[in-house]
Amino acid sequence: MGKTISAQREVQLIDLGRISYADAWALQTKLHRAIVERKKQGRDQEQTIGQRDYLLFCEHHPVYTLGKSGKRDHLLWTPQQLAERGIEFYAINRGGDITYHGPGQLVVYPIWDLEHFKTDVHWYIRSLEEVIIRTVGDLGLHAVRIKGYTGVWIDGHPMRKICAIGVHLSRWVTLHGLAFNVNTDLHHFDGIIPCGIQDSDKTVTSLAEELKQNIPMTVIKKHVQRHFEEVFQIELIPTSLP
């Protein structure tokens, strides 16, 4: 069992709006490095108690990202096809395989020190899933976990993945996060084998696909914010870039 910190903690919420993957990755890296470097300088309680944790909200321009355990041949479209569709590609250091980010998808990056929460990666990933399960439940859909698969699924035949999760940790400081399909163009998933999953009984979906209507992203962000506060026992403080 990991160490647990029970006191509610303030976390800085930064809404980046629509942003390129490269710019968001650079910001994540900057914030992550600052937290890690501060931890390296000293481990006593006074030095960590004033340290800021961050939660980033954003949407990306169309992009495929390949995790460090992924296979390049899970990208099905050629460089020319990607260029024709305006889709970028990055190989990155998160866990997991290949996924898609784009407009209409809420991407959430927690950049925080799990020593302020609970030093347990399994708990952390299950908690991220719980945020989305509760959010989807607010809208009348039944979302579940599938044993052996990370992420959140809509129960049925086939099982439909609505949220992908991929994380990276260094000195218990988190990087990357979750991608929640809200009003996402699902045709862009045709260019990849999403998350490397080729099972015939599993596919991808979005809130818009399930509800047959577009839900404003502003509404979804409020639900997700509230459930992050509940699940992780934090207070999110809207702020601008540091």
What pLDDT, on the 0 to 100 scale, is given for residue 69?
79
User: What pLDDT, in 10s, does the model give residues 215-231?
Assistant: 999 999 999 999 999 99
Q: Which of these ranges, 104-108, 215-219, 237-241, has the smallest mean pLDDT?
A: 237-241
Does residue 6 carry a pLDDT above 50?
no
What's the per-residue H, E or C state across the chain? CCCECCCCEEEEEEEEEEECHHHHHHHHHHHHHHHHHHHHHCCCHHHHHCCCCEEEEEEECCEEEECCCCCHHHECCCHHHHHHHCCEEEECCCCCCEEEECCCEEEEEEECEHHHCECCHHHHHHHHHHHHHHHHHHCCCCEEEECCEEEEEECCCCEEEEEEEEEEEECCEEEEEEEEECCCCHHHHHHECHHHCCCCCEEECCHHHHHCCCCCHHHHHHHHHHHHHHHHCEEEEECCCC
What pLDDT, on the 0 to 100 scale, is given for residue 70?
83
What pLDDT, on the 0 to 100 scale, is given for residue 75?
92
Note whether residue 4 is domain-resident: no
- Summary mean pLDDT of the chain: 90
Number of domains in the chain: 1
Note whether residue 137 is domain-resident: yes
Which residue range(s) make up the domain with 177?
9-238
Q: How confident is the model at residue 7 (pLDDT cuts 50, 70, 90)?
A: low
Known catalytic residues are 195
Note whether residue 2 is domain-resident: no
What pLDDT, on the 0 to 100 scale, is given for residue 67?
86
Per cent of the chain over pLDDT 90 is 74
Note whether residue 1 is domain-resident: no
What pLDDT, on the 0 to 100 scale, is given for residue 200?
79
CATH code at position 203: 3.30.930.10
Note whether residue 156 is domain-resident: yes
Note whether residue 122 is domain-resident: yes
User: What pLDDT, in 10s, does the model give residues 130-164?
Assistant: 999 999 999 999 999 999 899 999 998 899 999 99
What pLDDT, on the 0 to 100 scale, is given for residue 50?
57
Q: What is the mean pLDDT of residues 160-187?
A: 95
Q: What is the pTM of this model?
A: 0.91
Note whether residue 126 is domain-resident: yes
Does residue 193 carry a pLDDT above 70?
yes
Note whether residue 22 is domain-resident: yes
What pLDDT, on the 0 to 100 scale, is given for residue 108?
98
- More reliable by pLDDT, 94 or 48: 94
User: What pLDDT, in 10s, does the model give residues 35-50?
Assistant: 998 888 865 444 455 5
